[in-house]
Structure 1
Amino acid sequence: MRWVVLVLLFFGAVINFADKSIIGLAAVPIMKEFNLTYTEWGLVGSSYYWLYPITGIFGAALADRHGAKKILGVLMLTWTILQFGVIAIAALPLLIVYRVLLGAFEGPYSPIAYSHADKWFPPKLRGFANSVVVGGGTVGAMIVAPILVSLITIFGWKIAFALLGLASLVWAVLFQLLTKESPVDVYKEVRKKKKEKLEKINLKDFLLLLASPTALFTTLAYFSAYTLVVWFPVWLPIYLMEAVNMPAAQMGFSVMVIGIVSVAVYTGVSMLSDYLFKKNQNWRLSRVYVVASSMVLGAILLASVIVFQNPIWVVTALCFAKGLTYAILPIGPTIMINEKRERGGLMTSILTSSGNIAGIIAPVLTGFIISVAGGSKLYGYNLSILFIAAIVLLFSILFAIFVKPSSSKDKNMMNKGSTDNSDLIFSDAK
């Protein structure tokens, strides 16, 4: 059952990120239809994230209380309605409203998915499990790009959006029919015993926890990576076409290649992290140092495309820059959940929603930079890339210095007498 859950969470992330990225793949026809400037297009990209951080926290808290299965089902049905509703969009204001609402209801998916996967897998496999969920995001954002481009070309961008709504509906039905909320029935009893604890949280202590170096700098590192996460779906297609001079078909293929290679890279980093953790139970060595080193190298490779602008090198560098920088996405949630396991959904939502604030800033900032660059679009794109690389480099170094997770938390959970509900999962219960 755990693998069925993980596979469906993977495909849920595919849909989630396809919904995010298709707007970038349809940028040219949408901008032409509504006569949009680069600044206005940046506003469209940013609007998706205006409510995303808030609803991410709220939705994950609801999942902690009422169950991930129920909340994810509701979210997916809402995506379906919104994607079908895109057919009625006739002007920029309606396009922005649609993106705001879609972002609001898609915001909770990632933290809920990370927390839900965490229930089903032991510590030695959580990095891999989360990398699978993150991999679904990369598939949705980049690997299926040629398919989405074909749908946009053949049917038009509105019909292509509606087809993604149909995919959401199919997923919602399958998730309700094929999965369970938890690995064992006893888990329900554990949650009943903890219900009062879940209803009462000391706000002061929780805020102090979020302000601790481990939580704070993990969140900032995640934030820095997310500036790249949102840049890829909104600006990469246009960048490859306008700055690297790729035709649409080559652009779609390049986006797919970047996605495929990057999945292999950050999955490999996650598996290395899991392997080291299994060997030594050392959070600093296996989680923090591995991720920080990966992000530093990713930032350097990202910045290199400014200097070496040969199309082959650009695609190659972006493959590894994306994969290495994204290493924080699967490992960050494991660090945050470790800080307060009984509030796993809430902890991951703080992480992802804080990171998604980058989604509000990055698209608008990129559009503004390109606009003020004057006649040189290439100069504007290069400045935006350099800014992202600098942010990633800075916060990955701070992450390595200040993040010191307590290894005792997972050790306690693995003790036979532990009352943490994760013990029920580690036993490989059928």
Structure 2
Amino acid sequence: MFMRWGIVVFLFLGMVINFADKMVAGYAAVPIMEEFNLTYTQWGLLSSSFFWLFMISGIFGSAFSDRIGTRNLLTIMLLAWSVIQSGAFLVTGLYGLIIMRVALGAFEGPYSPTSNNHVSKWFPPERLSFAISIVNAGGAVGSMICAPLLVLGIQELGWRHTFGILGAISLAWVVMWIWLGKDKPVSENAGKTEVKTMPKLKWSETYPVLLSRPFVMICLILFSTYWVLVWTQSFLPTYLVKVIHLTPTEMGYFSSILGASYVVLTILIAWYSDRLFQKHNSLRKARVMVAGIGTVLSGALYCSMTIITHPIYILIAMILAKAMVHAVFILWVSIAVSLLPERKGLILGVGTGCAQFAGIVGPVATGLIVQFAGTNEALGFNYSILFMSSLLVVTGLVFSLFCKPDAYIRKTVHHSEEVSVG
């Protein structure tokens, strides 16, 4: 029991570092744009560059973890983060920044699916969402709760030194992980299903699952919710300063309160979903409907931010919306691994890769939308929020109506039994 939750703590801290690495560039947007004289379109390109290899590495990296083990891949990734973040001291212009962000994205891409895969080895299905929600809470800590510290570091030490400090923290994590991290439980009951050898699958048996309706629906909702994550990472700090007219310090505290609040709600949503699964043993009732309805509601809340712009309302709306959006990143995991339990790393990597495609197109599209409004930055940001909220509402509705994993699993199991009998 202690080791199980110790692994969760390690992966939680890794997620903190992962998201701090992602968000630190957004918090440093204003000084970086001023230092290198960047436009919003160029900043959108720079933000997008982080995801150019992020998606590809997320797919192939997490699938590779099925071969070398999740523990080994996690070690390699965190070590690479340390080296790359330290490269901030060598950057002299836009192209150097792009190279650095592309490299960082390539090695951060597999972290989320690999950590989810690692957690799934230690927890049974009826407790999996809660455990993953704890790990994913590190995203809120790294991206928002730590915001005042990141902003303070940028203001007092400069953005280069702040990047370097994050690199040193990654190195410390690697040292502790090599010493204490374990790949899977040996004797605990929670790991029994993972210890036994799973049959290998041929590609002809794998691709029908990846093209199935439930998994396609998962990819659609992940794309739209990840668009929100990317918008938050790349443009929220600038939106709060330029549109809501907060000072950089106020922006940091705003982000910290937002992160601390929505992560608690996200964990509660995951706990509620686990309770529903224990009661009904239904992925559709416990995972699909909770995620789908929450996505629709979050889209409506983001849309309301274009009408009511008081900072307190913006804070409350974003707390509720982000909690429901981030719950999707937790709930989809148990659906996906149920569809393809023999290759968890592969299906989690493909799903994460589809989500991360939003990271490639989202920042560029948002930058163009904001710049399209000309000097009226508030109008440009409102256009970007309306587009984002529309994605959430549409994909949330489609996901709720058409994602039926339980029926698909029963159908495939029945078909497999018929083939084996025949």
TM range (shorter): over 0.9
Aligned twin of 1:233: 233
CA contact under 8 A between 1:283 and 1:407: conserved in structure 2? no
Q: Secondary structure at the match of 2:48?
A: helix
Question: Deviation string for 1:47-103 (max 9, x for gaps)?
Answer: 000011111111111211111111110111111100111110001001001000000
Q: Secondary structure at the match of 1:172?
A: helix
**Alignment map for 1:170-181 (pairs within 5 Å):** 170-181=172-183
**Alignment map for 1:13-162 (pairs within 5 Å):** 13-162=15-164
**Alignment map for 1:240-279 (pairs within 5 Å):** 240-279=240-279
Question: Quick one: which amino acid aligns to residue 208 of structure 2?
Answer: L
Q: What percentage of residue pairs aligned between the two structures are identical?
A: 40
Question: Deviation string for 1:250-298 (max 9, x for gaps)?
Answer: 1110011111111011111111000111112111111111111111111
> What's the offset of the Cα at 1:202?
2.7
TM-score, normalization: structure 1? 0.91
The number of residues matched between the two structures is 407
CA distance in 2, matches of 1:117, 1:48: 26
CA contact under 8 A between 2:186 and 2:195: conserved in structure 1? no
**Alignment map for 1:394-405 (pairs within 5 Å):** 394-405=394-405
CA contact under 8 A between 2:20 and 2:142: conserved in structure 1? yes
> What's the offset of the Cα at 1:209?
1.1
CA contact under 8 A between 2:52 and 2:102: conserved in structure 1? yes
CA contact under 8 A between 2:121 and 2:194: conserved in structure 1? no
Change beyond 3 A, Cα 1:327–1:190: closer
CA contact under 8 A between 1:25 and 1:148: conserved in structure 2? yes
CA distance in 1, matches of 2:193, 2:274: 30
> What's the offset of the Cα at 1:207?
2.1
Question: Quick one: which amino acid aligns to residue 104 of structure 2?
Answer: L
Q: Secondary structure at the match of 1:120?
A: coil
Aligned twin of 1:208: 208
CA contact under 8 A between 1:281 and 1:407: conserved in structure 2? no
Question: Quick one: which amino acid aligns to residue 14 of structure 1?
Answer: V
CA contact under 8 A between 1:282 and 1:407: conserved in structure 2? no
Unaligned 5+ runs, structure 1? 411-430
Aligned to 1:10, which of 9, 12, 15? 12
TM-score, normalization: structure 2? 0.93
CA distance in 2, matches of 1:325, 1:88: 37
CA distance in 2, matches of 1:190, 1:304: 45
Aligned twin of 1:321: 321
Aligned twin of 1:283: 283
CA distance in 2, matches of 1:407, 1:206: 18
CA contact under 8 A between 2:8 and 2:131: conserved in structure 1? yes
Question: Quick one: which amino acid aligns to residue 359 of structure 1?
Answer: G
CA distance in 2, matches of 1:168, 1:207: 36
Question: Deviation string for 1:142-198 (max 9, x for gaps)?
Answer: 11000100111111000000100011111111112112111017979977844xx44
Aligned twin of 1:350: 350
Unaligned 5+ runs, structure 2? 411-422
Change beyond 3 A, Cα 1:111–1:279: same
CA distance in 1, matches of 2:137, 2:374: 37
Q: Secondary structure at the match of 2:305?
A: helix
Q: Secondary structure at the match of 1:327?
A: helix
> What's the offset of the Cα at 1:407?
7.6
CA contact under 8 A between 2:282 and 2:406: conserved in structure 1? no
Q: Secondary structure at the match of 1:293?
A: helix
Aligned twin of 1:370: 370
CA contact under 8 A between 2:214 and 2:408: conserved in structure 1? no
Aligned twin of 1:183: 185
CA distance in 1, matches of 2:306, 2:192: 54
